[in-house]
């Protein structure tokens, strides 16, 4: 049983870390800030949750603390991304040329 949990934990960790790598790739390849934020937040959230779950499988006694870190990240990661995206948009950080429409800029056309 412990053997099985070790393997399961290892697989979860490897899968999570793979998503972290995809996040890094997205961060490098995406054409503008907003797409980079998207690549950065989602992948690191799931990636970290999977790694923490994997660690919990191997060391069940750390479970509560790992759950706490996971919950904290689940709440703060999207929040910091949103605040950053908003700050960038208010600062007129340019969007990629392929952007189809920006309703936010349209609605706030006059203001700076």
Residue 49 Cβ vs other proteins, minimum distance, rounded to whole Å: 8
Of 51, 27, 21, which Cα lies nearest the Cα of 39?
A: 27
Query: Between residues 52 and 109, which has the closer beta carbon with respect to other proteins?
Result: 52
Q: How far is the CB of 14 from other proteins (least distance, A)?
A: 5
Kindly state the smallest distance separating residue 110's Cβ from other proteins, in Å. Answer: 15
Q: How far apart are CA 69 and CA 3, in angstroms?
A: 25
d(CA 106, CA 95): 14
């Amino acid at each position: 049983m412990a053997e099985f949990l070790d393997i399961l934990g290892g697989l979860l960790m490897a899968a999570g870390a793979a998503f972290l790598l995809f996040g890094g790739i997205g961060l490098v390849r995406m054409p503008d800030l907003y797409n980079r934020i998207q690549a950065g937040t989602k992948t690191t959230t799931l990636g970290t949750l999977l790694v923490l779950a994997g660690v919990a499988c191997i060391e069940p006694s750390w479970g509560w603390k790992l759950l706490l870190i996971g919950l904290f990240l689940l709440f703060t990661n999207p929040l910091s991304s949103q605040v950053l995206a908003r700050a960038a948009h208010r600062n007129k950080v340019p969007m990629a040329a392929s952007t189809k429409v920006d309703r936010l800029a349209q609605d706030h056309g006059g203001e700076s």
